[in-house]
Amino acid sequence: MFLTDTLKNKMIQNVFYSFVICFLLCGPLVKSIRTNRLHGEIGNENSPLQSGISEEWRAVPWAIDDLKLGQVSGVSLDPNDNVYIFHRGERKWEYSTFTNKNVYTGKASGPIKDSAILIFDSEGRTLNKLGANMFFLPHGITVDNDFNIWVTDVALHQVFKLSPNSSKILLKLGEEFVPGSDSKHFCKPTSVAVLANGDFFVADGYCNSRIMKFNSGGKMILEWGRGTSGYRPDNYQLRVPHALTLIEDKGLLCTADRENGRIICYTTKDGTYATQYSSEFMGSRLFSVAYSSIFGGRLFVVNGPSSSALIPVQGFVLSLNGQILGNFGSGLKNPHDVATSSNGSVVYVVEIGPNRAWKFVYNNPGTTVPQVTETPKLFPQESKPAEINKSSDDGEGLTGAILVTVSCFVFAFGLLIIIMYYSKSKKSGNGDTKRLLSNREY
């Protein structure tokens, strides 16, 4: 049987209309299923998003609350738990700060006049101020086991190593104001992590989406990572590796893969993929991660504003097997970096807009935070990502959505057939419906 072009076009239009009807009927319903599920999870007293499931944290005032800070981009602790803040003074990162080729546009303004590095004790009393007239747009800060200070400047496209408690430069990598992607250039580097033997890693984050390993003398010995394409990045596709933390007792380096919404970990020896952490409860943007060996290992993660109003901006405490143990910082707006004390009982978070540094203290009545004394077990490497809180609810929610969608399609298509039949019959009788089936018979 053959159909005329007119009839073919009408059938195509009708199929299209059925899809439109299905979308209009099912879209809100499917979205409602997922939204209600997420609302239910947030409201459930057993949800990992409820404060104090197994850990409780409270914000405490400290001396630097009264300081006027610029955009606070980084925070780190030294071996004595002194706090190092990296901020931008009067300088701001705005839309016009870089050209479309990642060249900094504010060079003529000169370096930031204020001391960009502020050092405090755990109570917030000022110990030192460093880095005046040195930096143009600060980003990450790390203090190693020997109290050396490592910083990144995204405007200069450089990495600096400063001697303890001073502004003396011991090592400088990258070419000033020149972005690049080879072994001697960076493009807006974000963070540094330093091994006990002096070797170190740099997250070359905003442009190159790579992680680089250097020996203690500053020679690059390893590189991995590339930009993300598509919605399902593989284990080496990164999208703004924004912060680094070492799980050195287990031979791992983890990065907050910001725009991919995950914490992803590699071996420190050769950059082999080990595992990753992500969850719809933490959202699609994870800005920073810090590690403490307390209780066999804890990761402290802060997310950032996302497209979903259901995902609050806050911090999360994770076990290394991927369980969300608690959350902190319900008053956070735009966290940029996180650091934790040596025993994991205090967490510091810095924000950009509002420009503030927060201090959160572990406060679970009747529970103390012990020092880790036993020899840690080796962290198991995994061949596939380790998902957080992967429960039967995920499968049930997906199955329900699929069933609802299929049912809507059937209903919409049936409704369309009835409408077509009624319309044709009303115009020219039942005999006209036969002409839809075969033009050759009449």
Taking only the tens place, the pLDDT of each residue in 101-160 is 999 999 999 999 999 999 999 999 999 999 999 999 999 999 999 999 999 999 999 999
The SS3 of residue 271 is coil
Phi-psi region of 393 (alpha: psi -120 to 50; beta: other; left: phi over 0): alpha
* Cα 371 to Cα 322, 330, 346, 385, distances in angstroms: 22, 27, 13, 30
Residue 436 pLDDT level (bands cut at 50, 70, 90)? very low
pLDDT at 56: 82
**Annotated binding-site positions for Zn(2+):** 139, 336
- Residue 425 in tokens: 């019959």
Q: Tell me what pLDDT residue 430 has.
A: 36
Binding-site positions for Ca(2+): 75, 337
pLDDT higher than threshold 80 for residue 177: yes
In the predicted model, what is the mean pLDDT of residues 165-193?
Answer: 98
Annotated binding site: 75, 88, 139, 206, 242, 258, 336-337
What gap in Å lies between CA 417 and CA 113, rounded to an integer?
Answer: 74
Inter-CA distances, 78 with 13, 123, 190, 243, 287, Å: 68, 14, 19, 17, 21
Please state, in angstroms and rounded to a whole number, the distance separating the CA atoms of residues 126 and 63. 9
pTM: 0.74
Tally Cβ neighbours within 10 Å of residue 7: 14
396 confidence band (pLDDT: 50, 70, 90): very low
- Answer positive or negative: Cα dihedral of 26, 28, 32, 35: positive
Higher pLDDT, 50 or 121: 121
Q: Residue 20 above 90 pLDDT?
A: no
Rg, the chain, Cα only: 28
Binding residue ranges for a protein: 88, 206, 258
Residue 363: per-residue pLDDT: 78
Tell the burial category of 231 from Cβ atoms under 10 Å away from its Cβ (0-12, 13-18, 19+): exposed
pLDDT at position 330, please? 86
Report which of residues 336 and 382 the model is more confident about: 336
Residue 73 has pLDDT above 50, yes or no: yes
Separation CA 119–CA 293 (nearest Å): 24
pLDDT value at residue 52: 36
How far is 219 from 199, CA to CA, in rounded Å?
9
Residues forming a β-bridge with 337? 350
